[in-house]
Amino acid sequence: MLHPDRWMSLCGALAMLCVIGCHRSEPPQFVISETAKDLSAELQQAVQAEMVKQTGTFLKPKMLIADGDSHQDLGRGQAVYQERCVQCHGVSGDGNGPSAKYMYPRPRDYRKGIFKFASTPYGYRPLRDDLVRTIRQGIRGTSMPGFNLLPEADVQSVVDYVLTLGRRGELERQVIDMADSDSAVNSDEVKSDLIPAVLTRWSEAEAAEVLPASPQPRFTPEFVERGKKAFLTRGCSKCHGEDGRGQTADNRGADAWGFQTRAADLTSGMLHGGNRPIDIYRRIYNGINGTPMPSFANVLKEEPETVWDLVAYVLSLTDKRRRGDIPTPGAIKPYVPAK
């Protein structure tokens, strides 16, 4: 027979074990987008039910892909994401993870399908390879780390997980719009119209890679000189300032995700989109999606040489500080608006 006191401590120990072992925290859930907040509770539920039907749940996600296409192991992608990305990019890929609030620029909200550093024209989705490159290299000068040491299969599967979240977000937005305008969610229409529309934008992009119209020249000081002239006369200095530092009075804009953004300080030595000449060529020619950096494709279509001149000039600006040419702090040439 156990002494009553012993019974008590045994029960206590069991209770303790239960507190430690039996209590499981709930798995995270995808949260519905804030754009649904004006819908009635029933319509919100209908949207959520439709989303589960088409794209699964956090623990069992389904990736929207075209018939006949395949994807990597989403379980693996989810594990990598959970371990390495979620604290910034958030459970639903809304860019609102626990450590996102204090970052500038903010971690990407994937749900609009808009990505900045693409090899495709302005307004297009990026290539899959663009995402792979960004994840491997990180985004210099921002909080986005590089993951070059991850095994290839991890990188490829986390790309598919990012695409899973992105396409899910794009679809959700449209299902919310449908619920809003029709006061109902029509599952057949989601399948026949909305999902193909999401997928087409991604497949269009794969066929739209922008390649320079003339080969990259070997840059000489003449390129830099001509580039500087173009920089001052083709509208770049309007946003980036005459010295490329973005110290202009009206250098304040908004991005597609609703945050403030500024024209880059091109002398910072940290080009976010990469510092290969082709990267800079594409930033100028294609513009930067979701930001005020416009595409110069129309203006400079017939002048690929001018784009290369600008590339040479941007490269020389980027290198300025490394060459010991350190600008004094503060606005050197205050922006004077044109009369």
Residue pointed to by tokens 């598919």: 160
Which of 219, 218, 214, 77 shows the shortest CA–CA distance to 155? 77
Nearest distance from residue 117's CB to ligand HEC, in Å? Answer: 4
235 near ligand HEC, judged by CB under 6 A: yes
133 near ligand HEC, judged by CB under 6 A: no
Nearest distance from residue 318's CB to ligand HEC, in Å? Answer: 9
151 near ligand HEC, judged by CB under 6 A: no
Calpha distance 61→59 (Å, rounded)? 6
The binder of ligand HEC chosen from 199, 236, 312, 315 (CB under 6 A): 236
The answer to whether residues 186 and 178 touch, using CB atoms and an 8 Å cutoff, is yes
Helix, strand or coil for residue 136?
A: helix
Residue pointed to by tokens 């991604």: 202
90 near ligand HEC, judged by CB under 6 A: no
The binder of ligand HEC chosen from 310, 312, 315, 316 (CB under 6 A): 310
Nearest distance from residue 279's CB to ligand HEC, in Å? Answer: 7
Start-end of H helices in 191-288? 195-206, 221-233, 236-240, 277-286
Residue count at the site for ligand HEC (CB under 6 A)?
A: 49
Give me 96's structure tokens.
């609102």
134 near ligand HEC, judged by CB under 6 A: yes
Measured CA distances, 214 to 15, 274, 299, 301, 307 (Å): 74, 20, 16, 11, 10
Nearest distance from residue 14's CB to ligand HEC, in Å? Answer: 40
Residue pointed to by tokens 């930033």: 283
| Binding stretches for ligand HEC (CB under 6 A) | 80, 84-85, 87-89, 103, 105, 107-108, 115-117, 131, 134-135, 139, 142-145, 147, 158, 162, 231, 234-236, 238-240, 253, 261, 263-264, 271-273, 280, 283-284, 288, 291-294, 296, 310, 314
